[in-house]
Amino acid sequence: MALVNIHFLNLQNNYLFADIAKKVNAFKVMHPKADVISLGIGDVTQPLAPAVIEAMHKAAHEMGTSKGFRGYGPEQGYDFLREAILKNDFLPRGVHLNIDEIFINDGAKSDTGNFQELLHWDNFIGVTDPIYPVYIDSNVMIGRCGTYRDGRWTNVRYLPTTAENGFVPELPKGRPVDVIYLCYPNNPTGTVITKPELRKWVNYALKNDALILYDAAYAAYIRDPEIPRSIYEIRGARKCAVEFHSFSKTAGFTGVRCGYTVVPKEVSVSTFEGERISLNQLWLRRQCTKFNGTSYISQRAAEAIYTPEGKQQIQQTIDYYMDNAHRMLTKLRQLGYEVYGGENAPYIWMRTPDSMGSWQFFEALLYGANVVCTPGVGFGPSGEGYVRFTAFGSHELTEEALTRIENWTKSH
């Protein structure tokens, strides 16, 4: 008799964005003439950069020739892309890595979810709260989170990140955590972390022999030159941190699928006997077993964003989305809402008015203005009383959504 992995049965309801889609589809069935605008799910809308398209065409042509055809590629990625990443994402910021510390993937979501496989099931994890749901759910799947009670997992240390503490989470108190999830610029709050604050986390990890899993998927949206784009800008981070990057939002690759993970050779974890195990070698072994590599065409497309013309075109798209974010911040503040983020990230984090629940506001906005947001409670208990808006729409639809929100707000 085949038995189920019972930890999967502990997952709460559907994935957050599946729940949103279900509610929106139900609304559309009841209101077939309604023109719904989504500012909820963080999918991009602008077309791929010309340099990327050209590179994909060239790579596809190569694959159609005997000389240029490629089959299975290296599981850790082609050297041409890893070298471009080193030279453009890290060296200009004074970060020195080795090429075999970079692993190309099919998007940061996969690796942030899969990396926990390398760690013993009873590690105690700490997460900033609210947080991207995949961090929690992937740990639930292995049985690491305990039981779910009153909106929280018993074996997870929640570190509130709210307006009340300036969106700066406090270091864990009491029992030390073994694994720490950090995401900056933050999804969902759109806030960032300063170098002094990030240094506190690195020092904590070094002192307590903890591992930091650092999601830097939105680093390209940082405007403030003083804000770190990589945790490796902090001394000592190479000994305690793994970093995840994505081209999904940076270059519009949500449908192309490509990103990378940095696993420095200095990062290690312990056996019960005290032997230190290199995570770099362990991750390579895992990838060689369970991953056949990102497609050649996707990797050539990613390489193109580092060319002079590619950089310029990608920056124009990022500026386009950040212009949306600025418009949203300005309008929502004019309407009297309390909003955060949007200055170094493409997300707007808004407190719901009159202590309204996140899902209650979601439905009120959907039915009253035909605009979709993301309920903050879906990102964790500290997200209750907030909603998230994304800046990834077109200028036209963003302006239309803001006009609807303004009319709806003034009608109440």
Residue that is last in its domain, among 287, 308, 329:
308
Report how far residue 273's alpha carbon sits from residue 49's, in angstroms, rounded to the nearest whole number. Answer: 51
Peptide bond into 130 cis (omega under 30): yes
Q: Is residue 1 part of a domain?
A: no
DSSP 8-state code for residue 158: E
R_g of the chain, CA atoms, integer Å: 22
What is the domain-level CATH number for residue 343?
Answer: 3.90.1150.10
Q: Do 157 and 280 lie in a common domain? A: yes
Q: What is the Cα–Cα distance from 97 to 264, expressed in whole angstroms?
A: 7
Same domain for 105 and 216? yes
Both 325 and 189 in one domain: the answer is no
Tokens standing for 301? 């497309």
- Whether 185 is in a domain gets the answer yes
- The pLDDT value given to residue 103: 98
Within-domain flag for 368: yes
The gap from C-alpha 251 to its chain's centroid, in whole angstroms, comes to 14
Q: What is the pLDDT of residue 17?
A: 82
pLDDT at 69: 97
Side chain identity, residue 87:
K
- pLDDT for 41 equals 82
Judgement on whether residues 21 and 57 belong to the same structural domain of the protein: no
Q: Are residues 170 and 138 in the same domain?
A: yes
- Does residue 209 sit in the same domain as residue 279? yes
> Of 358, 357, 356, 352, which is closest to residue 336 (Cα–Cα)?
352
Average pLDDT, the chain: 96
DSSP string spanning 225-273? TTS-SSGGGSTTGGGTEEEEEESHHHHSTTTT--EEEE--TT-EEE-TT
The predicted model scores a pTM of 0.96
Write 337-342 long-range contacts (CB < 8 A, 24+).
Answer: 337/409, 338/163, 340/163, 340/167, 340/189, 340/190, 340/191, 341/185, 341/186, 341/189, 341/190, 341/191, 342/190, 342/391
Task: Tell me which residue range forms the domain holding 190.
Answer: 53-308
First to last CA, the chain: 58
Domain end call among 308, 332, 363: 308
Local structure of 211: helix, strand or coil: strand
Res 151: pLDDT: 87
Residue 15 is predicted with a pLDDT of 72
- Residues 39, 64, single domain; the answer is no
Residues 23 and 157: beta-carbon distance below 8 Å: no
Q: Per-residue pLDDT tens for 31-43?
A: 999 999 999 888 9
Contact between 190 and 222 under an 8 Å Cβ cutoff? The reply is no
* pLDDT at residue 375, as a whole number: 95
List Cβ neighbours of 58 (8 Å cut-off, separation of 6 or more): 300
Structurally, how many domains does the chain consist of? 2
Residue with tokens 């909603």: 387
Domain identity same for 268 and 190: yes
Residues of the chain where predicted confidence (pLDDT) is lower than 50:
none
Which conformational region is residue 95 in: left (phi greater than 0), alpha (psi within -120 to 50 degrees), or beta?
beta
Q: What 3-state DSSP class applies to 163?
A: helix
pLDDT digits (tens, 9 = 90+) for 353-383: 999 999 999 999 999 999 999 999 999 999 9
Token pair of 21 as six digits = 């889609």
- Assess if residue 207 is contained within a domain: yes
Q: Are residues 356 and 288 in the same domain?
A: no
Residue 5 belongs to some domain of the structure: no
Measuring CA to CA, how many Å separate 269 from each of 160, 234, 272, 277? 27, 20, 10, 5
d(CA 195, CA 161) in angstroms, rounded, equals 17
- Of 250, 281, 308, the domain-final residue: 308
Q: Exposed, middle or buried: residue 275 (CB in 10 Å: 0-12, 13-18, 19+)?
A: exposed
Cβ atoms of 298 and 255 closer than 8 Å: no
SS3 label, residue 13? coil
Extract the tokens encoding 212: 């930091």
Chain segment 226-278, per-residue pLDDT in tens: 999 999 999 999 999 999 999 999 999 999 999 999 999 999 999 999 999 99
